[in-house]
Amino acid sequence: MPLIRTILLLLLILPLSLAQAQAIAEDENIDPLESINRPIFAFNNGLDKFLVRPLAQTYQFVMPDIGERGVGNFFANLYDFNAAFNALLQWELEGAAQSSGRFLVNSTAGILGLIDVATPIGIRPFRTDFGHTLAVWGAESGPYLMVPFFGPRTVRSGTGTIVDVYASPQAFINDVRLRNTLYGLELIDGRARLLKAEELLSGDEYIFVRDAYLQQREFFVNGGVVDDNFSDYEDEGWDEDF
């Protein structure tokens, strides 16, 4: 069962994640693996240029706006399921109730989440993931990682991604073809939403992506407050979480 696998995985990786991240936290360099990360970034960029981006452009061209909104709402609804799970682990009972309420309302009245019914009636999204949960439990972020196929992460957020994937509703689908189709559609839909953001890229793209990601994760984990210590890295350039 996916839920049992998730719990076992959680018990196995938590001590490792805490130990690794806290040990590395003492290192002032947030990107000690840059010499490894840069070639992986180039690989990911090539894969995006020749495969993922063209698919996203085609998807955006053929899919009407109302269809794109529906697909985006559908996957946002699945995110609410994960958010409820993580909110409970953080003992954020209000957030857990909020996310559970959104999931139930949108899955029923919203036709499997295709329509966001919850937001107009005042049930706002509660943004969290397992990387955030690890932060609440005291794990430091650890070094920056560029992961093949998955993109920017830290030790903490990367560990969180593993758990979030195994705890997602898609993981409970026994039909492998359907499950993989949903994963693929989620990837293409998410990439299509980033097409307009490409014009923001400037200078050294690796540093831009790295610093933007770390800033976003810091903002996300701290509930909208960026730690002043993060400014120590602003000379080099500058955390979702999809």
Q: Does 34 map to a domain?
A: yes
Residue 108 φ then ψ, to 5°: -105, -75
Rg of the chain over Cα atoms, rounded to whole angstroms, equals 18
pLDDT of residue 198: 84
DSSP secondary structure of 45-86:
HHHIIIIIHHHHHHHHHHS-HHHHHHHHHHHHHHHHHHHHHH
Q: Does 190 map to a domain?
A: yes
Q: What is the arithmetic mean of pLDDT over 209-222?
A: 91
Beta bridge partners of 144: 154
Q: Does 110 map to a domain?
A: yes
If one counts the domains in the chain, the total is: 1
Q: Does 241 map to a domain?
A: no
Residue 147 φ then ψ, to 5°: -95, 130
Q: Residues 6 or more apart from 68 whose CB is under 8 A from it?
A: 60, 189, 192
d(CA 231, CA 238): 8
pLDDT of residue 116: 97
Q: Which of 142, 120, 146 is nearest to 131 (CA)?
A: 142
Q: Which residues of 1-31 are buried (b: 16+ CB within 10 A; e: fewer)?
A: ebeeebeebbeebbeebbebbeebbeeeebb
pLDDT of residue 202: 79
Q: Residues 6 or more apart from 89 whose CB is under 8 A from it?
A: 130, 133, 136
With cut-offs at 50, 70 and 90, classify the pLDDT of residue 22.
very low
Burial of residue 141 (number of CB atoms within 10 Å: 0-12, 13-18, 19+): buried
Give the chain's mean pLDDT: 84
Beta bridge partners of 81: none
Reported as a single tens digit per residue, the pLDDT across 8-21 is: 444 444 444 444 44
d(CA 51, CA 89): 37
d(CA 118, CA 75): 14
Q: For 25-39, 105-119, 220-234, which range has the lowest pLDDT when averaged over its residues?
A: 220-234
Q: Does 205 map to a domain?
A: yes
Q: What is the arithmetic mean of pLDDT over 220-234?
A: 53
Q: Does 224 map to a domain?
A: yes
With cut-offs at 50, 70 and 90, classify the pLDDT of residue 28.
low
Q: For 82-86, 104-108, 193-197, which range has the lowest pLDDT when averaged over its residues?
A: 193-197
What the block records as the tokens of 137 is: 């439990």
pLDDT of residue 7: 42
Q: Is the pLDDT of residue 94 over 50?
A: yes
> Whole-model pTM?
0.78
Reported as a single tens digit per residue, the pLDDT across 107-163 is: 999 999 999 999 999 999 999 999 999 999 999 999 999 999 999 999 999 999 999
Residue numbers of the domain that contains 229: 2-236
Q: Does 142 map to a domain?
A: yes
pLDDT of residue 64: 96
Long-range (24+ apart) CB contacts under 8 A made by 169-178 are 169/78, 169/81, 170/78, 171/2, 171/6, 172/2, 172/3
